[in-house]
Copies of this chain bind each other. A is one copy, B any other.
Amino acid sequence: MAQITLIEAVTQALAYEMAHDDSVVVLGEDVGVNGGVFRATQGLQEKFGELRVLDTPLDETTIAGLTVGLAVQGMKPVAEAQFEGFIYPMMEQIACHAARLRHRTRGRMTVPAVWRAPWGGGIRAPEHHSEANEHLFTNIPGLRVVLPSSPARAYGLLLAAIRDPDPVMFFEPKRIYRQYKEEVPDDGEALPLDVCFVLRDGTDVTLVTWGAQVKEALEAADALAEEGISAEVIDVATLTPLDFDTIAESVTKTGRCVIVHEAPRTAGFGAEIAARLMEECFYDLLAPVQRVTGYDTHIPLFRLEMKYLPSVERIVDAAKRTLAVS
């Protein structure tokens, strides 16, 4: 069994599901012959033809609307936004239709579609190629927002997203597309779409994160361990609908929590988790929940971008702050 990267796991999941379900189609810019600018759809057009792996005209609104139309007529489209920073023109179709058609028609019409997009910073890319905007979608009822952070989770969650009868936003942390390989059996096994992943057990503080920052969170946990601090690390992965129970259970145990995400702090999804912890775990908290996030500014061009992204150092500092107060 081959070792594969996160991006290869995406391709593997797409290929698996397309082979097993004729209604699965892929569409977007450059997804065909070119296999996507990151090669996520590499080889799919050759295998499944030009219609099932469709290069669209360059208009994100068109891609999003086609996706809704396809899904309503019984297909399972997987649309690609070439970068998450170009997703805005898709929002009207996603928010007004994909997330609402089941609701609008009392179940008559449904939108079993997936929107994939390479997400996040840290690859020295040009402007608009480094956005982390998951919060644009986490407050849209009727959607699911998924953000895998390992090859295995990318494979299992993408399969689940495609099979899910409702629309799913699937953001792929491009910084770790090729970070490491792991064995991912191509067995078609999906992962649940509403369970957080506890990546590391700990007792002193809970680090809650998602996407590429899982890497920094795990490294921070290592660094903390060296200082005798035991950090539990949770990969939220399925942001909405949120599996709050897993987070609550951990924080009830540790009494301390640091939420890490690379999107700007204000009104990022970290705020929701902090608010929930306040509402539901107030009396178990030994210290205020801390957020370590991107700053409330645009992610800078790449000369400065690493100073924008949450670092291991910032996470460790925040964790220690929660421990300093008790």
A–B Cβ pairs within 8 angstroms, 16 of them:
A85-B96, A88-B96, A89-B89, A96-B128, A104-B127, A135-B139, A139-B268, A141-B264, A141-B266, A141-B296, A142-B298, A267-B271, A270-B275, A271-B275, A275-B291, A282-B287
CA of A270 to CA of B289, assembled, Å: 16
Interface size classification for chain A: 35 or more
CA distance A90 to B82 in the complex (A): 20
Given contacts A89-B61, A92-B88, contact A267 B263 (CB under 8 A): no
The answer, yes or no, to whether A22 is at the interface (CB within 8 Å) is no
Among B104, B280, B288, point to the contact of A278 (Cβ < 8 A): B288
Question: With an 8 A cutoff between CB atoms, is A5 at the interface?
Answer: no
Residues of B near A291 (CB, < 8 A) are 275, 279
Against B, the Cβ 8 Å flags (1 = close, 0 = not) of A130-147 are: 000001101101100000
For A297, list chain B residues within 8 Å (CB): 103, 141-142
Contact, CB under 8 Å: A242 / B269? no
| Copies of this chain assembled into the complex | 2
Cβ < 8 Å to B, chain A residues 61-113: 61, 85, 88-89, 91-92, 95-96, 99-100, 103-104
Give every chain B residue within 8 A of A266 (Cβ-Cβ). 138-139, 141, 240, 242, 272
Tell me if A274 is interfacial: C-beta within 8 Å of chain B. yes
A290 at the interface (CB under 8 A from B): yes
Residues of B within 8 A of A240 (CB): 266-267
When C-beta atoms are compared, the residue in chain B nearest to A127 turns out to be B104
List 13 extra interface pairs beyond A61-B89, A271-B275, A274-B275, CB under 8 A.
A88-B95, A91-B91, A100-B298, A136-B136, A138-B266, A139-B266, A141-B266, A242-B266, A266-B272, A267-B271, A271-B274, A274-B279, A282-B288
Q: Is A10 an interface residue (CB 8 A)?
A: no
- Per the bound structure, the CA–CA distance linking A209 and B278 in Å amounts to 18
Would B298 and A290 count as touching, CB distance under 8 A?
Answer: no
Say yes or no: is A277 at the interface (Cβ < 8 Å to chain B): yes
Cross-chain contact B279 with A288 (CB below 8 angstroms): yes
Q: Tell me if A278 and B274 are in contact (CB < 8 A).
A: yes
Assembled-state Cα–Cα distance A290/B266 (Å): 19
9 closest cross-chain pairs (CB), A and B? A88-B92, A274-B275, A282-B288, A139-B267, A271-B271, A271-B275, A138-B267, A271-B272, A88-B91
Interface contact B277-A267, CB-CB below 8 Å: no
Q: Most chain-B CB neighbours within 10 Å: which of A271, A282, A297?
A: A271
